[in-house]
Structure 1
Amino acid sequence: MLPEPTTAPLVEVVDERLRGVRLLLKRDDLVHPDIPGNKWRKLKHNLAPARAAGRVLTFGGAHSNHIRAVAAAGVEHGFETIGVIRGEEHLPLNDVLAFATACGMELTYLDRATYRRKGDPDVLATLDRRFGPYHLLPEGGSNELGVRGCREIIAELPDFDVVCCPCGTGATLAGLALGLGPRQSAVGFAVLRGGFLPEAVRGFTGGHGGWEVDERYHFGGYAKVPPELDEFAEEFTRRHAVPVERLYVAKMLYGVYARAAAGEFKPGTTVVAVITG
């Protein structure tokens, strides 16, 4: 069974570069070896409908940690999994897709133009005819049940002023925002460019405020890891003995440090950064 998320520790970072900001890391990357961080959170409440349907169909890129996590969850919880992968098939499979198929996931591929329309009725109808019935899980696990799981993070935190997370689809930020108390706020650091995240978060939160998307630290887009970001992550690991995942977590931590240096997080502010895996 998946471990309870309360097993994820909080780690305080002491670093003069934070200019008096107190930084706590929520180590959600440690909750499960194959289903870490926000992947666990988003899947938690999707497990019941997945088991009821007996099969899950979901979407992701060829290096998607979400695809990997869903495949692992299918093994642990006894439902079939189908991964709809963006782009063309490439053999041999990379490590993520090889792991997924080893877990029994069936892979199918959509060209990039069709993948961009993956939510359109005609595309879903084609998938239904081939694979249905199934529990449909959006890319990244970002549905109302996924947001509900992410909201539960707030109850596990000590008193704080700002909670931060990396942002890919917006569901984790939406969940955090919905759990905020008075005088608390949430910041999501976009890991890709495009400007669509605020609308996505609003779709989950409605008129609930207290959150923002910071789009200054995506470093050129998804999977872009220039030397400056890589060096920052390496130094962070040397100083604090915390491994830093590059595509998501490094961009968030870089943004937290940049905001502290610029005075956007005032000295004495308690910031919690959710390490999503």
Structure 2
Amino acid sequence: MRWKGRRGSANIEDRRGRRGAGTTGRVGGAGALGLLAVLLIGWVFGVDVSPLLSGGGGGGAVESRPLSEAERAEGEFVSVVLADTEEIWTEIFRRQLGERYDPATLVLFSGVTSSPCGGASGATGPFYCPADRKAYLDTAYFTTLAQRFGATGDFAAAYVVAHEIAHHIQNELGILGQANALRAQSGQVQANAISVRIELQADCYAGIWARAAQARFGTLEPGDIAEAVNAAREIGDDRLEGAAGRPPRPHTYTHGTSEQRARWFMRGLRSGDLRDCDTFSATRL
């Protein structure tokens, strides 16, 4: 992937190298209603709220450590990819929707941090929180993606960033709010099915980004698309289930199968049109 030498984004909140009170619990003192609200948010948005439930109010000083060379390089890479998404989605919103795009903030953290949608940790993986319009990413996830899932390459990492920003696109368009409201009113199986459509649409939007990144910046190098497709396949629900030694249970899937994730990414890549990413109207995923 060709990314060096381009501008980075100003919409980066770098919490890496920081640890101490204030990076975990926010529930302390909130009472039963606050506890219930956090649990509901965690269920609706599918994120781990345990760090919030275990932490206190937090009042100590925040400690810091210097970032490693690898962390600095990862931060620079993510900043450039985020800047690319900002330029691309600004143009797509203007051209396809006649609307203004309001970029998301991307929070980089190490180990654990907090958000209005719950705790963020290496266990939760990257996620987007519509409550504060921020995407959360521990850059160590890139290593996990390569070593645990076999999804290597910088464009595989860029796909992860593009997928989370795609959730912000859904939020900007009102899609995410409507879908999550429907999930909250549904039984578990139906809520999971809605989640799958949310995630596959985000994969499709990531494909649109990849197409536009090549057209605008000449980003792609040989093998880059294969890296992104491989990443999409490796984190499909069926692939993760098999790796855990469990039998197929499609009713529990929340992100889609390997084949579905790869196919919707490629659909966006080939089309470049937001209308072709309407997973909610699709009869076949």
TM-score > 0.5, shorter chain as reference: no
Question: TM-score when scaled to structure 1?
Answer: 0.28
Higher strand share: 1
Question: TM-score when scaled to structure 2?
Answer: 0.27
